[in-house]
Chains A and B, each alone.
Chain A
Amino acid sequence: MTQEYDSADLSMIFAKVCERLIDAAPHLNELDAQLGDGDLGTTLRAVATALQGELCNMPLPISDFMEKISQIIAGVSGSSFSAIMMAGVNRVAAETNGQNTLLSTQISDLIRLAMESMMGAGGANLGDKTVLDGLNGIADAIDRETDHTKLASAADEALSRIMKDFKSKPCKIGRARLAGDRSIGLDDPGMTALKHMIEAINGSHDSGSDFTGGVDAH
């Protein structure tokens, strides 16, 4: 069955995501510092904080809603992860022109289109151990799930499985590629950030065995 999400529904989802990203910032920084420059958590916290302040005031149609998110990212951060997020969000905006609601059945296609733009902007491919591998698994899992109430849990389960698979593989792009075999055994920070977001939507808490931030505070 198809579910429609309006601007209020989406704002509620993003509110949960923002809250979680702010709590997860130290965890993401620490993870990123092992392979990159250690600012992924700070970056996402800045984006989440700025977005929180605007969520009561998001425009329609969905394309404008998404464009506003892109503008918020554009205003606060210039990191590669932000630029890739913007590329994805801009694509979703372009593909939802004129829609006042988002259909649950659209989500997997939108994720795949967003991934295409993200690959174009960042130059990563599937298998490089980036957030794209996580998104790809989510899109597949959502495709198979016919019950819209189970979309978030299906995405969460798929992502857990993918992160487990990739943990033993090396990163193949960005500064982390220089770490080579040192990246084996570590979760990709981008995928972990995605896991936090999906868990926030699903209401679960298990991103990474060492993650404790924020859980007890609620």
Chain B
Amino acid sequence: MKKIINDPKNYVDESLEGLVLAYPSEFECIGANKRVVVRPDSKASGKVGLATGGGFGHLPLFAGYVGEGLLDSCAVGDVFAGPSANDVTEAIEAADFGSGVLSIIGNYGGDRMVFNMVKDALESKGVRNQLVIVADDVASAPPLEHSKRRGVAGLTFAFKIAGAAAERGRTLDDVAAITERAMNNCRSIGVALSSCTIPQAGKPTFEIDDESIEMGMGIHGEQGVWRGGLKSADDLADEMLDRVLEDNPIASGERIALLCNSLGATPIDELFIFYRRLAQRLSSAGVDIALPMIGHYTTSMEMAGITVSVMTLDDELESLMREPAACPFWRNL
């Protein structure tokens, strides 16, 4: 294992410590285990609070999107392992400004169960809270079983949409409904070129030889739809776009947000080579890429690969996406 770390045991905590040292006015770690990331001196009051939680190893996903116009709190687990129920409870409580809390998480068994359990427990204590579960990865289950799909980079859209809606003073029900609508409009797929290593495991999460790639692989190395030889950027872009559009057709004249995301090791150079083809294809289909986003938004540590997320826009979703947010990992559109 070749990583720039001190002790595998401290991977998460030291990374969070560094995050807070780098951005002391943007992030603070609170709670019994210091595993709840919040906005320090948050001036939020009366607005709907937004919480999330998930395994570590995906930055900026989850904790990195705590910020004004985005999330209020995040419960941080271990690498690729969900946060504990106690940390989730503290995160939701920290995001309670009196108008209820919406938690937005990816569709993973442990996270779903823990957040549901905590939601019910807090509800019975009088903390109004709801849960939106993001399941945007078309490769992880067929359309009829879409509730089994995993949550991947589409989470970034969900956080932004919900964050802006909450800042606008929308109610808990409204924020949840808008976020659900955005996610109904969103589909993603990924391709992995190389594996990654959980520091405490010390060996790669999965094996893939130098010549092979895996289409549809999840952000924790979950099995995809095929494994085979490397293809050109254009061929990959075509296949991934086809798979996404097959699931959610986009008509000529529609406007979309398009997220072209590196899983970690893939350089931005390659993202643009890949994006070039997507833009050509979509443009010839008459689709307007109103909001292109290219960069590291949802990663799997040092995994090489790309994910594509497409979200069709209506006027409200587009204006929520364009609303400025203040967060080191968000570039205003």
Contact = CB atoms under 8 A, between A and B. Distances in A.
State the main secondary structure of chain A at its contact with B: helix
Contact of B86 (A37, A43, A75): A75
B169 to A, nearest CB: 32
B80 A37 contact: yes
Contacts of A77: 81, 84
Interface string B86-115: 111100000000000000000011110110
Interface residues of A, number: 26
B222 A83 contact: no
B220 A121 contact: no
Given A37-B205, A78-B87, A121 B80 contact: no
Interface stretch (A97-105, A163-171, A172-180, A201-209): A172-180
B62 to A, nearest CB: 13
A39 B198 CA distance: 10
B220 A79 contact: no
A71 B117 CA distance: 12
Interface of B: 32, 53, 75, 77, 80-89, 108-111, 113-114, 116-117, 140, 200-201, 205, 220-223
Contacts, number: 73
A43 B81 contact: yes
9 contacts: A37-B205, A38-B205, A77-B84, A78-B81, A78-B110, A87-B117, A122-B113, A175-B222, A178-B140
Interface string A68-79: 000101111111
A84 interface: yes
B83 A178 contact: no
A83 B81 contact: no
A80 interface: yes
Contacts of A49: none
Contact of B81 (A37, A87, A122, A175): A37
B85 A121 contact: no
B279 to A, nearest CB: 32
A79 B86 contact: no
B77 to A, nearest CB: 5
B227 to A, nearest CB: 13
B225 to A, nearest CB: 10
Contacts of B84: 74-78, 82
Contacts of A84: 113
Contacts of B116: 121
B205 A83 contact: no
B80 A78 contact: no
Which of B32, B114, B116, B222 has the most A CB atoms < 10 Å from its CB? Answer: B114
